[in-house]
Amino acid sequence: MIRIFIRLLVAYISIQIRLVLFLMKHFDITNSLLTGLFADMLLGRLNLYIWIRIGIVIVIAVICFLLQHFFIPARIIISAFSCFICGAIAYAVFKDNEVFSPYIPMVIVASLTGVLNWICWKNRMKLLKMSDE
């Protein structure tokens, strides 16, 4: 019984690590999901059914994903917006903290998101250069 539990725990951790690595490699998907999450945060105060909110989040995420792949300016704008979203989420999480200012995690998380966007953009440009040759 313990072996089964350990195997399930290892499988769960493995799936989580693979998911994180996938989202790190394809950060444009993460940007689209962050935009959908921000829309959900804004829609949270409205009295909408949960399925309508989920549908709106999915539509916004798909539209952002498609825009990022077909228009480079949209990719830049959505990348910058995702930095803002991550900073806003970090501020919302740490705003009641009395130990340190909530602006510190906001700047750290927004900067980290910007760096990850830059790395993803750099890797995407390498792939585009390799496909042109």
Whether pLDDT at 111 is above 80? yes
Query: pLDDT, tens digit, for every residue of 54-88?
Result: 898 899 889 988 888 788 788 888 888 888 888 88
Confidence category of residue 109, pLDDT binned at 50, 70, 90: confident
**Residue 116: predicted pLDDT:** 80
**Residue 4: predicted pLDDT:** 84
Instruction: Name which of 19-28, 35-44, 80-89 the model is least confident about.
Output: 19-28
**Residue 73: predicted pLDDT:** 84
Confidence category of residue 95, pLDDT binned at 50, 70, 90: confident
- Going by C-alpha positions, the residue among 43, 46, 128, 34 that lies closest to residue 84 is 34
3-state helix, strand, coil in the chain (%, to 5): 85, 0, 15
Residue at 95: amino acid letter: K
